Structure 1
Amino acid sequence: MLLFFLSWKGEHKEPLTVETAQDQAHLSVLDSLFEHNPNAIGIFDQEGTFIRINLAAETILGYTASELMHQPFISFVTPEYVKTTLGGMEQVRGGTPITFETAILHKTGYRVDLNITAVPVDLQPTSKGSILICQDITERKRGDEQVRYMAYYDDMTGLPNRRMFKDHLNETLTASKAIGQKLAVFYLDIDRFKLVNDSFGHDYGNMLLLQLAERFTRCITENDFLARTEGDEFAFFYTNAADSNDVITIIASINRVLEKPFILEQYELHVTASIGVAISSDDEEGIEDAEMLMKYADIALARAKEKGRNDFQIFNTDMKLVSINRLKLENELRRAIASEEFTLYYQPQVEIETGQIVGVEALIRWNHPEKGLISPNHFIPFAEETGLIVPIGEWVLRAACKQNKAWQNSGFPKMPISVNLSMRQFFQYNLKGKISRVLEQTGLEPQYLELEITESMTMDVDHAIQSLLELKKLGVHVSIDDFGTGYSSLYYLKKFPIDKLKIDRSFVRDIMVDPNDAAIVATIIAMTHHLNLKVIAEGVETEDQLHFLHENRCYEVQGFWFSPPVDAVQLESMLLTGIRTAVSKE
């Protein structure tokens, strides 16, 4: 009765009885609910054409009721939902209610997603139809799509992320095994990407990642896959790579897209990459999966980086042992930090005319409970890579300040102690505050602490100047270590608030046999005098080197000619007895 009325409203001409008048009142209420329902409601005949719609349906479709009358509903459905919708309508015609999702096109052309509840109705005693109650779920669907996008895509580059890479790799691996085909997984890491972030800022790092993502898309076909897995790491898998020759060909194509410099606003940057590769095996038992191949590629990548970067390595079973050793080293280093297994050695810095010790450099050693004393070359690079260098560096700073203050309290001559700052420490938030707190806690006056930084730390000139000015306000001294091996601009060098340059041992070593090294060292010494800076040469091992440096007006040195690094007790003895000298004043 209700649906008959809603369908044929206005066409009933018979006089109303009391009973029909009461019905009319009830139907008027229901008709109002129909018209003003927030959900779109449509009534359709047996062929699925519109008979009546409410105001919400007009809004969702963009058509007036008169434009829709006798139009088939299916003609407004988007192509991908036609089959589903026809099936739902057919089920309703058979007398069974159904709920399904579909999508229609608005009059202006945009898509509207709908959740539809369809129920069969009797329009007349001999005429059947259906009523569709439609809820607009467009926003919910967009939200679902956004959540899915965030779950499977990298929001910055738009590339698939690690999760999608793994899913697709598993599918492709299964398909490849079925046809007896191999594939290869490539893990690629941008060399020294952290230096770009630290030197130019994260905005420039992001610009570089976007350009890298675009270039890497040129290296794959429709059968391959590219993803950004994390940070500056990208992952590829290639379905046409069965052996090392295929791998070399692919890596050559990747290196070609990296050859052209990257332009980051006013900066031009050349980029190299380290790559680890894992080739699938003839795994008939199906043990090898995406997770395993990705792990193997990651191990090979770590090996490539260990070998000096800008290189590639293909995984082999021997690398498993290396990976295990790295994990073991990390665990042992964490234990060493917690248990304070480190100790400091000290190399004297000598005034070569008098043999007087004018300073010392603090150098860390690891007193391993099983392996004995381990030199920093065997664990510092790994500590820098893992971030453990920060707590280690803080320990060195505190221990060095504490020891220098102890020497002063024992009556030894006051002298500065040099401590190396790592890249991560230099770019730490509130570095000034951290150092100030150590000085306060140990009681060491700031002029007796010298902080050594490397040239690479000064690439971000503005940050370097600001940080150095803050350190200078504390009263500590600052020197640039390994000078000549980095990228310092002489124009900026004069702006840096530093006290001393330390000539790298690689130049000092060959000054007596290589005229170029001799010229470089002489030039650095002359430059420091013009800039009113102190200069010290490290790695002095022969008397001839000592004479050359003295003749060129470098008066402070350190190296094995005078003393290797020694423990605190041995240094105290040297402070009491003095050090031999091999030159005299001219």
Structure 2
Amino acid sequence: MNWMLENLNGIALALLPIQAMLVIFYFRRKYPPLRRRDTFGMVIGLGIVLTFLSLASGLTVLYAGSYLSLLFGIRSFFGAQNPERFLEHRTGLFNRRSFEGVMQENFGRRYWLVSFGIYNYADVRELYGAQQMDRCLSQIGSWLRKAFPGVNSYYLRNGIFILQSFQPLDQEAAAHRIQQRFGESWHVGESDRFLDVGCAFLDSSICVSSVHVLMNCISMAHRHLDEKVQKPTEAIQVDGKYVRGLHEERAVKRALERAVENDSVCVFLQPIVDASSQRVVGAEALARLFDDELGYISPGDFIPIAEKDGSISALGRQVFRKTCDFMSRPEIQQLGLDWVNVNLSPVQCMNPHLAEEFIGIQQAYGVPAEKIHLEITEESIINLTTLQEQIARMRAKGFRFVLDDYGSGYSNLMMVRKIPFINIKLDMSFVRAHFQEPNTLLPDTIRAFRELGFSITAEGVETSAMALALDQMDTTYLQGFHYAKPMPMEDFYAFMKSHEEAGEAAEEGADESRETAGKAAAAAEDEASEAEKADEASAEDIPLAASSVC
């Protein structure tokens, strides 16, 4: 018995250093979630107490309790308290898992948050390079820990940081301090890196229903900050309107899912006219959404959601299929419509099966491929190799490509020349800016593209004066409310028929005018001939004396 007790005492003494290391770990490093950390501390303390009690009393049950407490503590150390689970290695800050865990375990308590995000983080990371950007993140993490020592700091990835406190925090002062620091450079190696940030703050007064909703509110706030043309210099407050906006976004998402699933996405067409002849030669197919609960939903609301959740591919296929169906109808073919433009999103362009899908749909409806022009934006040219492969396969089948929204972003003439576009569409903001403050930029751009062999379509044409001026600039096609708003396919057919009839009536009127003019000219000639004969007769009747006098 004494031998067994000595062995148990030896094991207990041998485990004490391990328990001591766990104590040191507990006091030196505090890993969220907070409650798990406190539980971890209680388990370690219990294990040590049981160890000393077992050494003093020699009771086997206390040895067993001490041993089990140690096992639980070690399991917690390598599991719930594992630094790799809660720390972001580049910044040394707590990660997204930590933030969500802390907020989840303390949901219902008062809290104060300050969030800031690096503007255009993906572009900045590509510009500076991954390695240098990681070094910037490391410096930001070190600065946050020093600048806000009593506040938990988190890095949620994608350039977004959060300061979190369960004690009152002067959020505006914290945001101001952050913006001041980012007004200076971050020194990396031998170079300085400048980063712009947008700040937002919120607290428990917004009364969100879950941590998931809270995370969505933060994401939405930074998405809105990124979308602003003029970056705000002051922090924005995330309040109830963001929560309402989030609920509205979810409602739109559900409506989009229903429309895609039920094949009820509407396709509207907007006419495109020849600038010189003013004849409707083409149209642009545009997705529209009508929901029984929400009514009309703007494309500006559902397109970004479709791109974010991946449903844009199914949406785009539906629009393309319905456009091909429209173009395959005999009555539409008789209208003499040259082509219809269909938009492709950047997400669609990343689909390696895009060419096969669209070619299959086009062939199923028997529509000549040259009747379908595919519009892509400059954003789609990011992955140039994949895009070129897609375009090559589709051009081989007869499809043609148009660059959409030129002038709305970082337009690059050299990049444009790498894709075999047949037409460049000038963004309406670019066109309207010229007519608000005229300069040479728009005419020079049109002339440069025309010299390169591109045809030009100007969007946003609202008046006859704009149409005339753009025609004089040698613009090929015009599109805008001056001619017509986007309309359902049935209305577009009626619109085309009315234009066709008006054209025929104009031609008939011109023929009648020419016929009337011909008859008038013939009558005038007859009158002139009669007058000449009368003059000759009068001359013959003049007396010889009078003639001699003359």
- TM-score normalised by the chain length of structure 2: 0.69
* Contact 2:117–2:159 (8 Å) recurs in 1: yes
When residues 237 and 524 of structure 1 are mapped into structure 2, their CA distance, relative to the original with a 3 A threshold, is same
Distance 2:167 2:139 in 1: 22
Hey, what does 1:235 align to over in structure 2?
162
Hey, what does 2:455 align to over in structure 1?
534
Distance 2:417 2:188 in 1: 26
Matched, 1:553 2:487: no
Hey, what does 2:41 align to over in structure 1?
none
SS in 2 for 1:349: strand
Q: Cα distance, 1:409 vs. partner?
A: 6.9
Distance 1:74 1:503 in 2: 75
Distance 2:48 2:222 in 1: 55
When residues 295 and 436 of structure 1 are mapped into structure 2, their CA distance, relative to the original with a 3 A threshold, is same
Distance 2:323 2:8 in 1: 91
Read off the aligned partner of 1:215 and give its amino acid letter.
I
Hey, what does 2:488 align to over in structure 1?
567
* Contact 1:502–1:535 (8 Å) recurs in 2: yes
* Contact 1:187–1:234 (8 Å) recurs in 2: yes
SS in 2 for 1:570: helix
Matched, 1:499 2:419: no
Read off the aligned partner of 1:249 and give its amino acid letter.
A
When residues 263 and 45 of structure 1 are mapped into structure 2, their CA distance, relative to the original with a 3 A threshold, is closer
Hey, what does 1:277 align to over in structure 2?
201
Matched, 1:302 2:302: no
Q: Cα distance, 1:320 vs. partner?
A: 3.8
Hey, what does 2:171 align to over in structure 1?
247
Hey, what does 1:368 align to over in structure 2?
291
Read off the aligned partner of 2:316 and give its amino acid letter.
G
Distance 1:74 1:188 in 2: 46
Hey, what does 2:529 align to over in structure 1?
none
Hey, what does 2:538 align to over in structure 1?
none
Q: Pick from 132, 143, 149 the counterpart of residue 218 of structure 1.
A: 143
Q: Pick from 379, 383, 402 the counterpart of residue 302 of structure 2.
A: 379
Q: Pick from 70, 78, 82 the counterpart of residue 144 of structure 1.
A: 78
Per-residue Cα deviation, 1:525-568 (whole angstroms, up to 9, x for no partner): 11112222121111222222222222222122112233322332
When residues 336 and 219 of structure 1 are mapped into structure 2, their CA distance, relative to the original with a 3 A threshold, is same
Distance 1:45 1:143 in 2: 24
Distance 1:298 1:254 in 2: 22
When residues 392 and 90 of structure 1 are mapped into structure 2, their CA distance, relative to the original with a 3 A threshold, is closer
When residues 527 and 412 of structure 1 are mapped into structure 2, their CA distance, relative to the original with a 3 A threshold, is same
When residues 185 and 567 of structure 1 are mapped into structure 2, their CA distance, relative to the original with a 3 A threshold, is same
What is the correspondence of 1:126-205 to structure 2 with a 5 Å cutoff? 144-145=78-79, 148-154=82-88, 159-169=93-103, 183-188=111-116, 191-193=119-121
Hey, what does 1:9 align to over in structure 2?
none
Read off the aligned partner of 1:225 and give its amino acid letter.
N
Distance 2:17 2:289 in 1: 75
Hey, what does 1:25 align to over in structure 2?
none
Read off the aligned partner of 1:186 and give its amino acid letter.
V
Read off the aligned partner of 1:218 and give its amino acid letter.
W
What is the correspondence of 1:79-98 to structure 2 with a 5 Å cutoff? 79-80=20-21, 88=51, 91-92=54-55, 94-97=57-60
Higher mean alpha-carbon deviation, 315-324 vs 530-539, is at 315-324
Per-residue Cα deviation, 1:400-419 (whole angstroms, up to 9, x for no partner): 12212225774332522111
Q: Cα distance, 1:522 vs. partner?
A: 0.9
- TM-score normalised by the chain length of structure 1: 0.65
Q: Cα distance, 1:319 vs. partner?
A: 4.2
Q: Cα distance, 1:492 vs. partner?
A: 2.5
Per-residue Cα deviation, 1:60-104 (whole angstroms, up to 9, x for no partner): xxxxxxxxxxxx9799878547996797477357443465799xx
SS in 1 for 2:149: coil
Q: Cα distance, 1:382 vs. partner?
A: 4.0
Gaps of 5+ in 2: 24-44, 504-550
Structure 1 or 2: larger strand share? Answer: 1
Residues paired across the two proteins, number: 469
Q: Cα distance, 1:234 vs. partner?
A: 3.9
What is the correspondence of 1:103-122 to structure 2 with a 5 Å cutoff? none
* Contact 1:101–1:116 (8 Å) recurs in 2: yes
Q: Pick from 455, 468, 476 the counterpart of residue 399 of structure 2.
A: 476
Q: Cα distance, 1:502 vs. partner?
A: 0.8
When residues 208 and 411 of structure 1 are mapped into structure 2, their CA distance, relative to the original with a 3 A threshold, is farther
Hey, what does 1:64 align to over in structure 2?
none
Q: Cα distance, 1:437 vs. partner?
A: 2.8
SS in 2 for 1:515: coil
Distance 2:467 2:340 in 1: 22
Distance 1:305 1:389 in 2: 19
Per-residue Cα deviation, 1:155-208 (whole angstroms, up to 9, x for no partner): 77664333422444578899xx7xxxx6412345555556779xx69x967975
* Contact 1:359–1:417 (8 Å) recurs in 2: yes
Q: Pick from 350, 356, 374 the counterpart of residue 451 of structure 1.
A: 374
* Contact 1:402–1:442 (8 Å) recurs in 2: yes
* Contact 1:160–1:227 (8 Å) recurs in 2: yes
Matched, 1:416 2:339: yes
Q: Cα distance, 1:476 vs. partner?
A: 1.5
* Contact 2:8–2:63 (8 Å) recurs in 1: no
Distance 1:468 1:269 in 2: 38
* Contact 2:252–2:301 (8 Å) recurs in 1: no
When residues 297 and 146 of structure 1 are mapped into structure 2, their CA distance, relative to the original with a 3 A threshold, is closer
What is the correspondence of 1:263-274 to structure 2 with a 5 Å cutoff? 272-273=196-197
When residues 237 and 548 of structure 1 are mapped into structure 2, their CA distance, relative to the original with a 3 A threshold, is same
When residues 405 and 150 of structure 1 are mapped into structure 2, their CA distance, relative to the original with a 3 A threshold, is farther
Distance 2:300 2:219 in 1: 21
* Contact 1:208–1:262 (8 Å) recurs in 2: no
SS in 2 for 1:441: helix
Read off the aligned partner of 1:148 and give its amino acid letter.
N
Read off the aligned partner of 1:96 and give its amino acid letter.
L
When residues 100 and 469 of structure 1 are mapped into structure 2, their CA distance, relative to the original with a 3 A threshold, is farther
* Contact 1:344–1:567 (8 Å) recurs in 2: yes
Higher mean alpha-carbon deviation, 416-425 vs 314-323, is at 314-323
Structure 1 or 2: larger helix share? Answer: 2
Distance 2:107 2:428 in 1: 52
Read off the aligned partner of 2:344 and give its amino acid letter.
L
* Contact 1:275–1:300 (8 Å) recurs in 2: no
Distance 1:116 1:510 in 2: 75
Read off the aligned partner of 2:477 and give its amino acid letter.
E
Higher mean alpha-carbon deviation, 499-508 vs 223-232, is at 223-232
